[in-house]
Each structure stands twice: as structure tokens, then as C-alpha cells.
Structure 1
Amino acid sequence: MASEFHVKKTLSLAFQDGINADGDPIIKRYSYSNIKKTATPDALLATAQAIAGLCKGTQRGFTTIDNNDLLP
């Protein structure tokens, strides 16, 4: 039976920074890696909101990305 081993967590923030010539939104993404494995969703959201206050553009969303190793 396979198992997963958590390796890394990344916090990603997306902002709309205008519109291109075709009328599509220009999305800028900022990623912060090496997030503590023990970070709670509430703490991650509070951190993302604090960082968002320092960024220009319209907030489009926050995501987390987990990288895991699969072991046999």
C-alpha cells in the first residue's frame, strides 16, 4: 500500500494588474515557499491578507500548494 510524505507547502497570492489588449485580465502571482507544516488555515489566511495589503492590484484569490512524496 502506498503512502504520502509531506515535503513542502507553498502559499500563493493572485492579483489582477490590469487588462491586456484582448480584454483579458492580467494576473500576477506571488508565491511564498517553505511554509511551516503546522500552519493552520486561519493563520495562512491572515498572513495572505496582511501581504495583500502591501500589494497593488485587485485581489483574485489565495491558494496553498502541498508537495508530497509518494512512497511504495
Structure 2
Amino acid sequence: MAQEMLTESRLRLIFEAGIDGKGEPIFKTKTFNNITKSATADQLYQAAQAIAALSADLLSGVERSDSSQIIG
């Protein structure tokens, strides 16, 4: 039976940085690598809120991206 092993976790913050000429929102992202693999969604959201408080742009979204290795 194959097993999955979590190898890496990243946190991505999406900020709304303004409006373009067509009236569409402009988004910027900031990615943080080497996030603790055991961090919960609540912990990551709190960290994102704290980081966003330091930015002049509006926090639009928070994403977690995990990478795993499949061992057979």
C-alpha cells in the first residue's frame, strides 16, 4: 500500500492592490515557504491577519499549498 509523506507547506497571501484601467482589481501575492507542517488553518489565518495588518493593501485571500511524496 502506498503512503503519503508531507514534505513541504507554503502560505500564500493575496492582496488587492488597486484597480486597473478597465475597472478590474489588481492582485499581488506574497508567499512564505517552510511553514510548519503541523500548523492548523486557524493558526495560519491568524498569522495572515497579523502580516496583512502591516500592509497598506487589502487582504483578499489566504491559501495553503502542501507538497507530498508518495512512497510505494
When normalised by structure 1's length, the TM-score is 0.88
Q: Deviations over 1:11-32 (max 9, x none)?
A: 1111110111222211000111
**Which stretches in structure 2 are left out of the alignment for 5+ residues?**
none
- 1:27-66 to structure 2, matched below 5 A, reads 27-66=27-66
Runs of 4+ in 1 over 4 A off after TM superposition: none
Measured in 1, the distance between the counterparts of 2:70 and 2:25 equals 36
Matched residue pairs, number? 72
Indicate the percent of aligned positions where both proteins have the same amino acid: 38
- Give the alignment's Cα RMSD to 1 decimal: 1.2
Aligned residue in 2 for 1:9: 9
Measured in 2, the distance between the counterparts of 1:11 and 1:27 equals 16
Measured in 1, the distance between the counterparts of 2:23 and 2:63 equals 25
Measured in 1, the distance between the counterparts of 2:2 and 2:69 equals 10
